[in-house]
Amino acid sequence: MVLGKLKDKVERIGKDILEKGLAKIMPRNPNILTILSLIIALPTPYLMWLHHYWAYILTFVLLILASALDMLDGLIARYWGRTSKLGAFLDSTLDRYVDFIALIDIWIASDRGLLSIISLLLAILGSLMTSYARARAEALGVKMMGIGLLEREERLIIILLILLIFIITGINAVMVYGLALLALLTNITAIERIVIVIRSLSNSTGR
């Protein structure tokens, strides 16, 4: 919602790049890019656990690359006309794993105290409920595209910004309060979607 226009612009730029030749060197099967996105994100918790400056930077780069591949899989699918229910399912499912990994990355570099643990659990819950509310709503015929304070793209951008600020400053509290912020915003988004769906379904049934 917040970055909807920016997302559309990025997708247009991505489409232009594909048309200028990138599509020829990328796999035509978008599912390969979806799986690669998860594979690239998998080692980042270990890197964060090393607590080395270069490992933080590498984690940042890998998460950016994973996010880029996640965007490209959809563009490639539409470019080659290979959109499918299987691809949509894989993309949505593996995205949840990448989201979880990214949140774990932030938690590992925090103080891992009580606030961090509670924030991590609430952020995971909020992320899952945001996605579930949309999936369930759309299954019931309620359109949810662009609805909510913090969609997945915004969550990833915030996570990357938190990590970048931590890399620059080295201040542990950045990760602690960053997690708390994510916990707050993701659950606000989930509640916002739930309320919208309840209103929509109530109006449609006349209750």
Q: Is 105 a catalytic residue?
A: no
DSSP state letter for 28: S
Contacts of 66 (CB under 8 A, 6+ apart): 37, 38, 40, 41, 98
Of residues 70, 91, 95, 99, which has the active-site annotation?
95
Residue 83 is classified by DSSP as: -
Instruction: Collect contacts of 166-170 with beta carbons under 8 A, ≥24 apart.
Output: 166/56, 166/109, 167/53, 167/56, 167/57, 167/60
Residue type, 162: I
For the annotated catalytic residues, the residue numbers are: 95
